[in-house]
Structure 1
Amino acid sequence: MSTNSHVWTYSLPAALLLMAPFDILASLAMDIYLPVVPAMPGILKTTPAVVQLTLSLYMIVLGLGQLIFGPISDRVGRRPVLIGGAMLFAAASFGLATTSTATVFVVLRLLQAAGASAALVALFATVRDVYADRPEGVTIYSMFSSMLAFVPALGPIAGAIIADRFGWRMIFMTLGVLGLLSLLNALLRWHETRPASAAPLQARFGPIMRSPEFWCYTLGFSAAMGTFFVFFSTAPRVLVAKARYSELEFSFAFATAALVMIVTARFAKVFVANWGIGGSLLRGMLTLLVGSLCLTLGQVAGSPGLLTFVVPMWVMAIGIVFTVSVTANGALRCFDDTAGSAVALYFCVQSLIVGIVGTLAIVALRGDTAWPLIAYSSSTALLTLVALGLLSRRDAS
């Protein structure tokens, strides 16, 4: 427990109101932008591949940045890292609202991701500092999962409405304003929680990198989050460009997958209690494989649409919730003394796998079909099952 945790005396609702905006904004910066992705090549006078970079590089930098900011937060504290990240996120968002140049747009997206990365690692390190040994910790993680399920449900709808009424620039102006409001709240109320003792910098990553549990559960997290990443990267091209959905119709179809995640998350405590951490990961990977099979049948048998593309994603959404409900605890449970570094590496590895492997799947297998989603989800799920089997065999011996 942090020696500074006595200053973090907020009630649970007050703590969530303070912390949740930073978690939500990091995801919202991806999802609210999706409805205008098909139009961005024309707006920026560039290619669809460059626009895809604004999604993929955001995900990669979101993870790589945490590898830098995690140790910094262990060294200088959570508050300065969070405040600096929020400032950078807001400034980059306002910059994105003013540019029409592809190169500048990509650079500003990288800066926006770096700011989100710093805020995220400080946020989750703070949660571990204050709530690691308190029952409220389970509630906070569950609430974060539920909130993040709302973001992909509502974000694209909000983006479509904002773009239709005020133009695409207002999407990023909205992100800037929300980031600025969250920053002002944190300046007034976010107290430092970093433990007084800190492990030497060179000792932080070694034990984590050598942990089989860390790699197994991080791979499972990558399988789940990458499945959703490839889905929202391909869905605009499949449903808007190919199936001829309007931006608003696409947003509502996209939201149904997120709603399935919300409903499933309501029962997270029940299935984790019954299945345990390993059992929940096992069932999550098996559900992803079932969804991939349904998606394959839909791709082969029919044209893209609700039944052949979105409904199979509902099955995969259930598997995503089964998985992400337990992977953080499975990967990080042995590293309370270096929470900032452990959280940073967890998110970094996940973001690199998702950003690089997911993008390669999209580029190599036609991003206007279901094949990238099928390939990514099934291959990473199978690898995770192999890792889980090896881990179970080691524990049994």
Structure 2
Amino acid sequence: MASASVSRESVSQSAVFPQGVPGWVPLLLGFLTAVGPISTDIYLPAFPAMEDTFHTDAGNVQMTLSIWFVGLAIGQLSVGPLSDRYGRRMPMLIGNLIYTVASAVCAFAPDILTFSIARFVASLGASASLVIPTACVRDMVPDRNAGAKMLSRLVMVMGVVPILAPMLGGLVVAVASWRVIFWASAAYGAICVLCVLFLLPETLPFQKRVALSPVTLVTRYLTLLRDRGFTSHAMVTGFSTFMQFSYLTAASFVFIKIFGFSPLHFSMLFGVFSVFMIGASQVNGILVGRIDSARLLQGAVIVSLLGGALLVAVVAWGKWYAGPAWRHDQVWLMIGAMLLTLAPTGIIFPNAMMGALADHPSLAGAAAALAGTMQYVMGALAGALLGMFPTTSALPMAGCMFFGTVMMLFVCALRPKALEPQSQESGAG
């Protein structure tokens, strides 16, 4: 069965790219996938300005981030199976059109309620770009290690735009209205529509598409959830997202309001964090194949856990024991601890995601969707949880980030020990 499955995958790949996957394909998929990260990151420096414009409190502005995550979670549950049924291109096209129009509505929203509704609709459209590129990788590259390497390249590309996004957002807030940010998001969505129309190939042949019905859909998801290999790896990505979104939700208030960073300086710091995450993903691309991907995942989780523990220690010491004179040193120690916590996600994501998809080639869209939904449900929980705390201390952010790393290590230990060898045998068959 494994050999037959791989044979069918090889036919699929040769039908799309007879000479092998060209180098521009990961660039294109990364650019499309970046719709989600850029829409999350670009308006973070604008949180305080939005709070003033809408005459609301910080918790309500933070809640728009949770609404965004909820929409991404719901959208992925639908768009993944749709891409297994109708192919990859059409759902991507429709999703990017929805995202473009809804982002334009966000740009002229008169109040926080209208903004939140438009943001939710935009997230439903953006969910297509989070699920389908990963499924395309699985379509084209069935081998787990090769897939993890290609995902590492995709992570690099999708990470470049989010580095620039908060810097652009911070610059916009410094010289113009935060609403310009969402006009820029709408323009990005329109470019993605053109890319899908003229550049994205269809990676799922008609003969490999599966029927779609409510019963089939539920059965498909239950099949995935009952698989220990899928669930454990998907939960690793979920708690990694919880940790990252704890940072995303609270960091702008922590660094801008507590430590006095300007929006532009905060966005530059955000870019530094992103550079380290991208660097880790490229290290992963070099090491995958030389070192077992399961071992790489385990090591990266442990490093992130150590960084989270150090972050909590630094923040707690600064809050309860150190005097005001220690404030400058505390900021730099916090930044160092956050780098140690966040950078390993560049290794964690590609290895955990390919581990989740490895044994389900015929359900790649549904598997990517369910894993993505777990991620953004956890992200929404992180945002909602942090929204309950006052923005007067970095401790809630540090505590939530550390909790995410602890849970990553816990679910990592639940992975089936025989998964990696089985996966390699299947790829060899």
Regarding TM over 0.5, the answer is yes
Match in the other structure for 1:375: 399
Match among 306, 312, 327 for residue 352 of structure 2: 327
RMSD between aligned alpha carbons?
2.5
Match in the other structure for 2:181: 171
TM superposition shift of 1:3: 6.6
CA pair 285-368 structure 1, distance change in 2 beyond 3 A: farther
TM superposition shift of 1:12: 2.3
Q: Matches of 1:389 and 1:11 in 2, distance apart?
A: 34
TM superposition shift of 1:280: 2.1
CA pair 235-335 structure 1, distance change in 2 beyond 3 A: same
C-alpha offsets along residues 332-377 of structure 1, whole Å, 9 cap, x if unaligned? Answer: 1111111111110010011112211x12431344444333333333
Match in the other structure for 2:229: 213
CA pair 364-134 structure 1, distance change in 2 beyond 3 A: closer
Match among 243, 252, 261 for residue 236 of structure 1: 252
- Provide the identity percentage: 25
Residue correspondences, number: 395
Q: Matches of 1:393 and 1:82 in 2, distance apart?
A: 36
SS across alignment from 2:275:
helix
1:22 paired to 2:46: no
TM superposition shift of 1:262: 2.4
Match in the other structure for 1:40: 50
C-alpha offsets along residues 289-318 of structure 1, whole Å, 9 cap, x if unaligned? Answer: 211221122112224853142221110123
Q: Is the 8 A contact 1:81 1:119 kept in 2?
A: no
Letter in 1 for 2:256: V
1:103 paired to 2:113: yes
TM superposition shift of 1:158: 1.1
TM superposition shift of 1:139: 4.5
C-alpha offsets along residues 60-109 of structure 1, whole Å, 9 cap, x if unaligned? Answer: 21122110111111122211100000101111111111222111100111
SS across alignment from 1:326:
helix
CA pair 206-320 structure 1, distance change in 2 beyond 3 A: same
Match among 317, 322, 329 for residue 301 of structure 1: 317
CA pair 301-104 structure 1, distance change in 2 beyond 3 A: same
Q: Is the 8 A contact 2:145 2:293 kept in 1?
A: no
Q: Matches of 1:214 and 1:371 in 2, distance apart?
A: 33
CA pair 183-392 structure 1, distance change in 2 beyond 3 A: closer
Q: Is the 8 A contact 1:204 1:341 kept in 2?
A: yes
Per mean C-alpha deviation after superposition, the further-off stretch among 161-170 and 237-246 is 161-170
Q: Is the 8 A contact 2:109 2:115 kept in 1?
A: yes
Unaligned stretches of 5+ in structure 2? 1-8, 319-326, 422-429
Q: Matches of 1:119 and 1:339 in 2, distance apart?
A: 14
Matched ranges for 1:1-397 at <5 A = 1=9, 6-7=15-16, 12-132=22-142, 137-195=147-205, 196-200=207-211, 201-202=216-217, 203-302=219-318, 303=327, 306-356=331-381, 358-392=382-416
TM superposition shift of 1:381: 2.8
C-alpha offsets along residues 254-284 of structure 1, whole Å, 9 cap, x if unaligned? Answer: 2221122122222113444454232222222
Per mean C-alpha deviation after superposition, the further-off stretch among 274-283 and 77-86 is 274-283
Q: Matches of 1:337 and 1:165 in 2, distance apart?
A: 50
Q: Matches of 1:166 and 1:319 in 2, distance apart?
A: 35
TM-score (norm 2): 0.84
CA pair 116-2 structure 1, distance change in 2 beyond 3 A: farther
TM-score (norm 1): 0.91
SS across alignment from 1:387:
helix
